[in-house]
Amino acid sequence: MTLIVQKFGGSSVSDAASIKRVARRIAETRRQGHEVVVVVSAMGDTTDDLVDLAQQVSPQPPGREMDMLLTAGERISMALLAMAIHDNGFEARSYTGSQAGLLTDSTHGQARIINVTPGRIQQALDEGAVPIVAGFQGVSYESKDITTLGRGGSDTTAVALAAALDAGVCEIYTDVDGVFTADPRVVGRASKVPSLSYEEMLELAAVGAKVLHLRCVEYARRYEIPLHVRSTFSASEGTWVSSERNPGGHMEQPIISGVTADLNDAKITIIAVPDEPGVAASIFQALADAGVNIDMIVQNVSEADTRRTDVTFTCPKGDLGRAMQALLDAQERIAFASLASDEDVAKLSLVGAGMRSNPGVSATFFRALADSGVNVEMISTSEIRISVVTRTERAEDALRAVHTAFGLDADGEAVVYAGTGR
């Protein structure tokens, strides 16, 4: 008998019929003799609808109240799912994140898990019941206020519980058949990847493959919890994410695991910065003090006669206002001429562990972009990733071109079973 944590995303529980389908699936797993802990997201687009509603009421809602509002979404789905499981002949009990022992820090909207004390969940299991836990929420161990883990955070709840309960596997049920070589909503010919290492999945999640929450993959790697990403709507095997890329297999690993386009970044250029030691330190200290997350950085070659240079970097769109203000506040000290910002950018990334040992990957990547007339504005690389910044309106074409150039196109169209992709 294995303990399995099963997480069902919003599109898996979007209406009464879907909730009943999920309940049957859980009952089936129980009938096969496994213990099951369920983590559930809010129904369909409930979380987005609540965010929209809050915006209509208040342009800058307090974080505490926002978290209280958003956690209501998961309370609805967990109770309904417990009812549907009862109708399948098993006892089920729903728990909020707080009741399930998810203790976090106090950062509303982006809380980090500090400890998991799943005593009530273990007790429910011991008594033969199916515990259903509300995803993406916890309680601050300091303030005792309700917190959320950030959008998409139910995946992280599931892995945190899997680690705390020593589960054999964490299954992430969603609206596609697994992790694909590109978002199947954008690249119809995306191929399902049978297995990925934590390292590859971390890079993919970090550069915008939203099928898994980044922190869920970090957590899974730390506690070595195997993840199985699969569809709620079909019985087919999904994608395994574990410490081995190709468990038990003998095939040479593919060079590329996937391509992504991330539209959540903005670009800032600091114009005519003095080209002397210490200036970059002042710039990035000012940004760090303002809590701005920096991604790519480029400095132009200084023109000999002016001894000034331009520094360009990207940061999340949500940090743009704070970044601009922090730089303006430090303008006199840093002595730059002016600032320019641009939200119309996309970050296109190519990820694959096989890149390390295969020459020619960059050449193929930039050739594909050039042939489809895509201009590259910034470049950054890691051992297993190349990212470029391009115009937003060219991002989808660029994604498809690169996908084709690396031979990743499948013979048929990928299936997207449900969801609005919001």
Paired residues of 75 in beta bridges? none
Q: Which does 94 bind (CB under 5 to 8 A by kind): Mg ion, ligand ADP, ligand ASP, none?
A: none
Check residue 179 for interaction with ligand ADP (CB under 6 A).
Answer: yes
Q: Which does 283 bind (CB under 5 to 8 A by kind): ligand ASP, Mg ion, ligand ADP, none?
A: none
- Nearest in space to 104 (alpha carbons), one of 73, 137, 62: 137
Residue 42 or 334 with smaller CB distance to ligand ASP: 42
**Percent helix, strand and coil across the chain, each rounded to 5?**
35, 25, 40
Stretch that binds ligand ASP, among 60-68, 152-160, 318-326, 410-418 (CB under 6 A): 152-160
The answer to whether the CB of 139 falls within 8 A of the CB of 94 is: no
Pattern 142-161, ligand ADP, x by CB under 6 A: ----------x---------
CB of 150 to ligand ADP, least distance (A): 12
The answer to whether the CB of 4 falls within 8 A of the CB of 29 is: yes
Residue nearest to Mg ion (CB): 152
CB of 184 to ligand ASP, least distance (A): 18
The answer to whether the CB of 377 falls within 8 A of the CB of 388 is: yes
CB of 414 to Mg ion, least distance (A): 17
Element (H, E) at 71: helix 63-86
- Nearest in space to 180 (alpha carbons), one of 224, 231, 249: 231
Stretch that binds ligand ASP, among 147-155, 270-278, 294-302, 388-396 (CB under 6 A): 147-155
Q: Which residues bind Mg ion (CB under 5 A)?
A: 9, 152
Q: Which does 42 bind (CB under 5 to 8 A by kind): Mg ion, ligand ADP, ligand ASP, none?
A: ligand ASP
The answer to whether the CB of 307 falls within 8 A of the CB of 354 is: no
Binding residues for ligand ASP, how many (CB under 6 A)?
12
Check residue 41 for interaction with ligand ASP (CB under 6 A).
Answer: yes
CB of 10 to ligand ASP, least distance (A): 5
Give the whole-angstrom CA distance, residue 91 versus residue 82: 8
Backbone angles phi, psi at 57, to 5 degrees: -85, -40
Check residue 151 for interaction with ligand ASP (CB under 6 A).
Answer: yes
- Please work out, in degrees rounded to the nearest 5, the angle formed at the alpha carbon of residue 157 by the alpha carbons of 153 and 163: 140
Give the whole-angstrom CA distance, residue 157 versus residue 174: 15
Check residue 406 for interaction with ligand ASP (CB under 6 A).
Answer: no
Give the whole-angstrom CA distance, residue 107 versus residue 175: 30
Paired residues of 382 in beta bridges? 385
- Nearest in space to 34 (alpha carbons), one of 43, 24, 26, 42: 26
Check residue 152 for interaction with ligand ASP (CB under 6 A).
Answer: yes
Give the whole-angstrom CA distance, residue 371 versus residue 386: 18
- What residues numbered 27-86 form the site for ligand ADP, per CB under 6 A? 41
Q: Which of 174, 197, 231, 309 binds ligand ADP (CB under 6 A)?
A: 174
Q: Which of 211, 270, 292, 389 binds ligand ADP (CB under 6 A)?
A: 211
Give the whole-angstrom CA distance, residue 58 versus residue 64: 14
Check residue 6 for interaction with ligand ASP (CB under 6 A).
Answer: no
Stretch that binds ligand ADP, among 6-14, 64-72, 119-127, 366-374 (CB under 6 A): 6-14
Taking CA atoms, 152 is separated from 19, 55, 78, 172, in Å, by 19, 19, 16, 12
Q: Which does 176 bind (CB under 5 to 8 A by kind): ligand ASP, ligand ADP, Mg ion, none?
A: ligand ADP
Residue type, 30: R
CB of 148 to ligand ASP, least distance (A): 8
Check residue 153 for interaction with ligand ASP (CB under 6 A).
Answer: yes
Listed in sequence order, the residues at least 6 apart from 196 whose beta carbon sits closer than 8 Å to its beta carbon are 179, 204, 239, 240, 241, 245, 257
Check residue 200 for interaction with ligand ADP (CB under 6 A).
Answer: no
Q: Which of 135, 138, 238, 258 binds ligand ASP (CB under 6 A)?
A: 135
Stretch that binds ligand ASP, among 125-133, 145-153, 160-168, 312-320 (CB under 6 A): 145-153
Stretch that binds ligand ASP, among 109-117, 120-128, 149-157, 193-201 (CB under 6 A): 149-157
Listed in sequence order, the residues at least 6 apart from 219 whose beta carbon sits closer than 8 Å to its beta carbon are 113, 156, 159, 160, 163, 225
Residue nearest to ligand ADP (CB): 9
Give the whole-angstrom CA distance, residue 169 versus residue 6: 9
Residue type, 69: L
Check residue 183 for interaction with ligand ADP (CB under 6 A).
Answer: yes
Residues interacting with ligand ADP, by CB under 6 A?
Answer: 9-12, 41, 152, 174-176, 179-180, 182-185, 209-211, 258, 416, 419, 421
